[in-house]
Amino acid sequence: MAKNDPIPQPIKPSMSLAEKLTSLPKFYLYIILIFFSSAPLFINVTVPNKPLESSIDLYATLMSVKPGETVLVASDWTNSTRGESWGQFNSVMRILMRRGVNVVLYSTGDAQAPRVAQDSIAKLNKERLAKGEPEYKRWENFVSVGFFSSGEAATNGMATNVKATFAGRKDFAPGRGLTDVYESPILKGREKIENFPLLIVITGSKTSNITVERLSGKVPIAFTVTGVMGPETGNFYQSGQIVGFASGLKGLYDLEGLMENGVNVPGKDGQIVIKSEKYPKIDGFPGQPNAGQGSRYYPTLHFAVALLILAVIIGNVGMFLARKGAK
Amino acid sequence: MLIAEAVGQQYRETGWFGVLFTAILVTFILINIRRAKGGKDLYIRRIAGLNAIDEAVGRATEMGRPVLMVPGLSDTVNAIAVQAVNIFAYVSRLAARFANPILLCCYNAAVYTLAQEVIRDVYQEEGLLDRYDPDSVRFVSDRQFAFAAGVSGLILREQTAATFFLGEFYAEALIFAETANSIGAIQVASSTEATQTPFFIAACDYVLIGDEFYAASAYLTRQPVLVGSLVGQDWCKLLVLGSILLGTLVNTSYVQSRTTKSWDDEKAEYGDVSERQNSAKQSIVQQLATPLLSKMPVERPLDPNAPVEDK
Amino acid sequence: MSYDAIKVTLGVLATVGLYSVLYKENRFYRFFEHLFLGLAAGWTLVVIWVENLKGPWWDLMVGVAPEKPTDPIGNGNWALILLLPLGLMGYMVFSKKHNWMSRIPIGIILGLWSGQQIQIWYNTYGKQIAGTAQPIWPTTWSSLTVPDYAKSGLTGDALANAKSQVYLSQAVSNFLFLITVVCVLSYFLFSFDAKTKLVRSASSMGRYLLMIGFGAIFGSTVLMRFTLLIDRMYFIWIEWLQQTILQR
Amino acid sequence: MNLILQSKTVNFWAQPYGSSTLWAYLFGALIFGILVFVGLMFMPAQFRRPVVAFCTFIAGAYWVLLYAWPAPIDLQPNELPQGPVEGVGAWLKDANPVVVGMTGIITAFMLGLGIFSLLSIHLRKIRRQQRDWPFSVVLLVSMVAMVSFGYADYFSRQGPDGTKLDLQANWGLANYGRDLLFDGLLQQMDAAMFSVIAFYILSAAYRAFRIRSVEATILLSTALLVMLSLMGAVAYISEQTINGLVSSTGNDFFLNFTLTEVAGWVRRTFETSSLRGIAFGVGIGALAMGLRIWLSLEKSGGNA
């Protein structure tokens, strides 16, 4: 498609309007983009929004896990997808923490993922302590199994026997230092994947596909994925291999909205904020710190995308003018 | 199934249907490889992106600038990387004949090993081993964006005239493509990740979509084995198509009969009518696709020296 | 200047350095590019032991010391040592005479990968085949689209019945879905002479349908990429300038 | 059949930790491995291809068997498999965790080759003072620094009191060094490079998204539709207008034509399906390629 495109040259005064429009120098575009994606960060806007079905399914699934249960969380993101994944991770963890659900963290995506996840949990804990809520304790509430260099391998191993796959993995137990994760109370009697009520994959990489290939049908799987993974994940969602997912910033914004407003819960004005035929009333966490990356970045995104669309329009207008000129 | 009965329904867990289906696919491929080996010449349709390879290398030679190749970002050496390296072997062969410098950037040490081995062989076979510089096949980084930074740096500094991005590409795809485009290099690209293909389409001159990538080596080398396998793949695709169409007919008629059943039959069958909406969705085809996970009690001797499980 | 301030500032410098390539390839970029590559390689050398060899190989091979006396003694599977010479065969690639040996470890890795392809194929695509085979003929003409059950006021059997129906809109969507898969798949039929009219029209149709798919992917991906840029901008303007430098 | 099996009980293949027998066996196995290594070096040329083919086949055969062989249903850890059929099935299942680790381990051993490539290129640059050689120095220095701090940090975290390093207050030089190099620089550069794509998307879209051909037009219009639908504000406005239309006409049929609905419908109906079409093709391609490699049918490495 790009075959016959001119490589944009700096504008020469002699150029006709059409030429100018079809060959804006890249660098100018870049400067404008930087402006458009920075300026709105300083102004506080809220955007009206309607959550996608998949996001509602994800929220409902998270809210359906019983307190005291232990869920698997595959945290496969690092700072390179911080923009989306960090917020998604925070929202998911906030829900689980508030509902007193225990978490087993493992990663197949990136060697840094476990550390990044733990840092985020530390931040969330600060927030909890500040609000006078109990700390979400390592070992008693969550253990970190660490990173598996071959995701395909580990996931496949988990399909047959989780305990065998996690064999030799250690985490910090208070007073005992590094201790075999399976000695943690939250992993008691959970040796097979079937013993876990839910597996949540928070990923910025392809590990999600592997998970579905190996584990679908053995345990309910939910995803939060980056926007780019959206379509593929939708594929699994549509064919019922996963129970729900949030994709990209939109999914995150949905999730934060759902946490604030719940599902089929009447808001202050008595109007139900988020309707769903699929579910009865699901409570939210009104008033609590639900707003995160989603609420901050989503409005800004609108400006950036607007710029993109504008650029495309300009290019096409220029092309048409050029054609006219040719005739 | 015979085996299933012989071993006490143990296929309940794996689902004999899946095994059978896969077996058929495998047979199709093997049969056709045999046919092709038997000297039956088989037709392959034109694939535009691949005809461009010669043009690209030729142009690079005219300009006396290097050809850059990236065999994707596979975590370890897998068939995708092998396929890419196979295509690059063809490219290097041309480049070697024209005495054109090449650059092959690897993301993974195992792939790097394979590439070294293969590309050197190519120069050897061409009797041009003196022209081969081991550093032309190099390991850049096995960290996605460090690799991206490194390769785009190379593209800009070496002013490559032709670039080939074939294999597993993720987000970094567009970084390569736009960088190469900005210096006017002619690009042939393909990602087995469908999600990256649109970006290649936007920024590259020729793009192999999805399966065309796997067809490439057959198309270029015309090895009977590869051509045969390609035909076999087509048979497999037809089988998939067939099953989809058949399944659609079955499901359609099934749902028709299910939903037009009288309520009494319904109650007799399901007790609770509200079951119906599920059962209507749970069509026969779905049941075949998702093997039963029902456990059956099996009498087994106990392991004397079994570890005491903390239960 | 506090440690965190230095840390954030370095991060900003690096970011700007890498961005500078957008203007043109320059020494500033080159510096950070090489720094990046160096750090990445260094980190890999750390991870290779910490993550890839220590646990999965060394500990399994020599066993692990019991944490507390009550623990069973961890056994060592000494046979795993054989993987070492196997891996080292890869290094023969630089030998003129024995370079063929590098194909053995590669062969084993490839063998494992290939076997897995056969193992996972149906598990991956079986359900998708079934999922594609949806009813394409409505079971009721009572409503063209799926009715709003909440408003319909139906209950019990009647509601269940209503929900179990396939409505025209669903049937049409399912049909289009089916057609798309069929056309796209037939676009990837390589060995059939495109002269046969059916195949030709189907596959060219397939190409157009592909473009719809690609367009949609592009659309959804764009948002994600911009998000990352915005996140960077947040890092530079808010986390660095506002919170670190201006201390607001 | 206990080979490579993670058994808790001592047997020929699994010796107790720290025991002299274990070390003896380890040493013996290593010697054996080296002998095999040397033996292969004297392998006559005509046997080379078969050897490689054999190794490849065995490796692949494991997964094929694991899939095709009937799996023992619900076999408890304290039960013995009944009969040979179950025996093999059980063994295949048990061996799984070890086999899946192999790829990673072998690949890890090969990393040295990659590092060797890096070093050879940049050391030569420095030796011969070729263009940009100072940058090669930067690369090597940063690499060494990262390795030393990385390991120092790792070892400082071992042992019972490693937990205290979760608090920055207890950090030493090693921990600060690693944190600065890794969190401060490496991670940030990852994010920076990733976000550069946004700029390239803008320029690529501006350049390539022209209503030039049917295909380009389809691509462009779908992209726009989806982008707009994902922008909450736009979607919301479209919804309001539709709602207005509904309330004015009293026909809620229009509700199906909000931007979100339409875009969602397009994605469900066309995007998902075309992706699936590609996936089937690619999947079969991978299967065939895998088959050819597994059975060594293909002349590997394209040397036709």
CB-closest option in B141, B194, B199 to C37: B141
Cβ separation of A229 and B145 shorter than 8 Å? no
Name every chain B residue with its beta carbon within 8 A of the beta carbon of C157: 263, 273-274
Cβ separation of D236 and A234 shorter than 8 Å? no
How confident is the model over D232-281, as pLDDT tens digits? 788 888 888 888 888 888 777 777 778 878 888 888 889 889 989 999 99
Identify the CATH number of the domain in which residue A60 sits.
3.40.50
Residue C180 lies in a domain: yes
Under 8 Å between Cβ of C110 and B78:
yes
Paired tokens of A325: 């000129």
Residue D246, pLDDT score: 82
Domain of A284 in residue numbering reads as 53-296
Q: How many domains does chain C have?
A: 1
CB-closest option in D61, D184, D222 to C7: D184
Name every chain B residue with its beta carbon within 8 A of the beta carbon of A83: none
Cβ separation of D162 and A177 shorter than 8 Å? yes
pLDDT at C28 over 50: yes
Residue A275, pLDDT score: 82
ipTM of the prediction: 0.86
Compute the distance between CA of residue D223 and CA of residue B231 in angstroms, rounded to an integer. 34
Cβ separation of B79 and C118 shorter than 8 Å? no
Residue A162 lies in a domain: yes
Q: How many domains does chain A have?
A: 1
pLDDT at C41 over 90: yes
Q: Which 8-state DSSP code applies to residue A282?
A: B
Residue D289 lies in a domain: yes
Residue C238, pLDDT score: 86
Other Cβ atoms closer than 10 A to B292: 12
Name every chain A residue with its beta carbon within 8 A of the beta carbon of C236: 38
Number of cross-chain residue pairs from B and C with Cβ atoms under 8 Å apart: 212
Distance from the Cα of D156 to chain C's closest Cα (Å) equals 13
Compute the distance between CA of residue A178 and CA of residue A184 in angstroms, rounded to an integer. 11
Residue A321 lies in a domain: no
Task: Share the mean pLDDT of chain D.
Answer: 85
Q: Is B291 exposed, middle or buried (0-12, 13-18, 19+ CB in 10 A)?
A: buried
Compute the distance between CA of residue B162 and CA of residue B164 in angstroms, rounded to an integer. 7
Distance from the Cα of A45 to chain D's closest Cα (Å) equals 11
Least confident among C143-152, C185-194, C203-212: C143-152
Name every chain C residue with its beta carbon within 8 A of the beta carbon of A156: 116
pLDDT at A5 over 70: no
Looking at chain C, the whole-number percentage of residues with pLDDT higher than 90 is: 40
Cβ separation of B182 and A26 shorter than 8 Å? yes
Paired tokens of B229: 């396998």
Domain of D221 in residue numbering reads as 213-302
Paired tokens of A151: 């995701």
pLDDT at A4 over 50: no
Residue A254 lies in a domain: yes
Distance from the Cα of C5 to chain B's closest Cα (Å) equals 24
Residue B231, pLDDT score: 93
Q: Is B305 exposed, middle or buried (0-12, 13-18, 19+ CB in 10 A)?
A: exposed
Under 8 Å between Cβ of B281 and B254:
no
Residue D279, pLDDT score: 92
Residue C239, pLDDT score: 84
Interval D42-70 mean pLDDT: 90
Please tell me if residue C134 touches chain B, with a CB cutoff of 8 Å. Answer: yes
pLDDT at D302 over 50: no
Name every chain A residue with its beta carbon within 8 A of the beta carbon of C60: 168
Under 8 Å between Cβ of A37 and A234:
no
Name every chain D residue with its beta carbon within 8 A of the beta carbon of C14: 185, 188-189, 192
How confident is the model over B78-113, as pLDDT tens digits? 889 999 999 999 999 999 999 999 999 999 999 999
In D68-97, the residues whose Cβ lies within 8 Å of chain C are none
Cβ separation of B231 and C113 shorter than 8 Å? no
pLDDT at C126 over 80: yes
Residue B278, pLDDT score: 47
Residue C218 lies in a domain: yes
Residue D206, pLDDT score: 92
Distance from the Cα of D147 to chain B's closest Cα (Å) equals 15
Q: How many domains does chain D have?
A: 1
Compute the distance between CA of residue C213 and CA of residue C206 in angstroms, rounded to an integer. 11
Number of cross-chain residue pairs from B and D with Cβ atoms under 8 Å apart: 243
Residue B298, pLDDT score: 65
Residue B264, pLDDT score: 60
Tokens 């490839």, located at residue? C110
Return the SS3 of A136: coil
Number of cross-chain residue pairs from C and D with Cβ atoms under 8 Å apart: 440
Residue D78 lies in a domain: no
CB-closest option in D162, D182, D208 to A172: D162
Cβ separation of A308 and C222 shorter than 8 Å? yes
pLDDT at A52 over 50: yes
Q: Of D123, D160, D293, which Cα lies nearest the Cα of A173?
A: D160
Please tell me if residue D12 touches chain A, with a CB cutoff of 8 Å. Answer: no
Task: Share the mean pLDDT of chain C.
Answer: 86
Cβ separation of A7 and B144 shorter than 8 Å? no
Residue B297, pLDDT score: 62
Which of B179, B192, B298, B311 is the best substitution to test chain D (most D C-beta atoms within 10 A)? B298
Interval C180-196 mean pLDDT: 84
Compute the distance between CA of residue B43 and CA of residue B215 in angstroms, rounded to an integer. 12
The number of residues in chain A equals 327
Looking at chain D, the whole-number percentage of residues with pLDDT higher than 90 is: 40
Distance from the Cα of C87 to chain D's closest Cα (Å) equals 5
CB-closest option in A30, A240, A249 to C22: A30
- Domains for chain B: give ranges and CATH numbers: 2-37+227-289 (no CATH), 48-222 (3.40.50)
Distance from the Cα of C78 to chain B's closest Cα (Å) equals 21
Domain of C164 in residue numbering reads as 134-248
E strands within C45-200? 75-77
Residue C80 lies in a domain: no
Residue B95, pLDDT score: 93
Interval A4-12 mean pLDDT: 50
CB-closest option in D202, D216, D275 to A231: D275
Least confident among A147-156, B226-235, D112-121: A147-156
Cβ separation of A188 and B171 shorter than 8 Å? no
pLDDT at A131 over 70: yes
Residue A141, pLDDT score: 93
pLDDT at A206 over 70: no
Q: List, in order, residues 6 or more apart from C121 with CB less than 8 Å away.
A: B22, B25, D283, D287
Cβ separation of A80 and B145 shorter than 8 Å? yes
How confident is the model over A257-304, as pLDDT tens digits? 999 889 998 887 878 888 887 888 898 898 888 887 888 888 898 899
Q: Which 8-state DSSP code applies to residue A228?
A: G
Exposed e or buried b per residue across A252-285, where buried means at least 16 C-beta atoms within 10 angstroms of its C-beta: bbbbbbbbbbbbbbeeeeeeebbebeeeeebebb
Under 8 Å between Cβ of B147 and C46:
no
Cβ separation of B205 and A3 shorter than 8 Å? yes
pLDDT digit string (tens) for chain B, length 311 residues: 444 445 545 565 557 788 889 999 999 999 999 998 887 777 888 888 888 898 999 999 999 999 999 999 988 888 899 999 999 999 999 999 999 999 999 999 999 999 998 999 899 999 998 889 988 999 999 899 999 999 999 999 999 999 999 999 988 999 999 999 999 999 999 988 888 899 999 899 999 998 899 998 888 888 889 999 999 999 999 999 999 999 999 888 888 877 666 556 656 665 554 444 444 455 666 666 666 555 556 667 777 665 554 43
Residue B30, pLDDT score: 95
Residue D169 lies in a domain: no
- pLDDT range class, residue D166, cuts 50, 70, 90: low
How confident is the model over D203-242, as pLDDT tens digits? 999 988 888 889 899 999 999 998 888 787 888 888 888 8
Tokens 């295509």, located at residue? B87
CB-closest option in D40, D135, D220 to C215: D220
Name every chain C residue with its beta carbon within 8 A of the beta carbon of D279: 125, 128
Under 8 Å between Cβ of A237 and A244:
yes
CB-closest option in B78, B117, B231 to C103: B117
Residue D94 lies in a domain: no
- Report the half-sphere exposure of B275 (CA within 13 A, side-chain side): 12
Compute the distance between CA of residue D45 and CA of residue C142 in angstroms, rounded to an integer. 76
Q: List, in order, residues 6 or more apart from B156 with CB less than 8 Å away.
A: B179, B183, C21, C25
Compute the distance between CA of residue A327 and CA of residue D91 in angstroms, rounded to an integer. 77
Distance from the Cα of C10 to chain B's closest Cα (Å) equals 17
Residue C112, pLDDT score: 93
- Torsion angles phi and psi, residue D82, rounded to 5: -100, 125
Q: Which residue has the higher pLDDT, D141 or A213?
A: D141
Distance from the Cα of D69 to chain A's closest Cα (Å) equals 14
Residue B275, pLDDT score: 47
Residue A102 lies in a domain: yes
Cβ separation of B293 and A7 shorter than 8 Å? no
Residue C68, pLDDT score: 47
CA-based radius of gyration for chain A: 23
In D208-227, the residues whose Cβ lies within 8 Å of chain C are 214-215, 218-227
Looking at chain D, the whole-number percentage of residues with pLDDT higher than 70 is: 91
Cβ separation of C218 and B288 shorter than 8 Å? no
In A292-321, the residues whose Cβ lies within 8 Å of chain D are 298, 301-302, 304-305, 307-309, 311-312, 314-316, 319
Cβ separation of C221 and B198 shorter than 8 Å? yes
Q: Identify the H or E element spanning B178.
A: helix B173-182
How confident is the model over A183-201, as pLDDT tens digits? 999 998 898 999 999 999 9
Residue A95 lies in a domain: yes
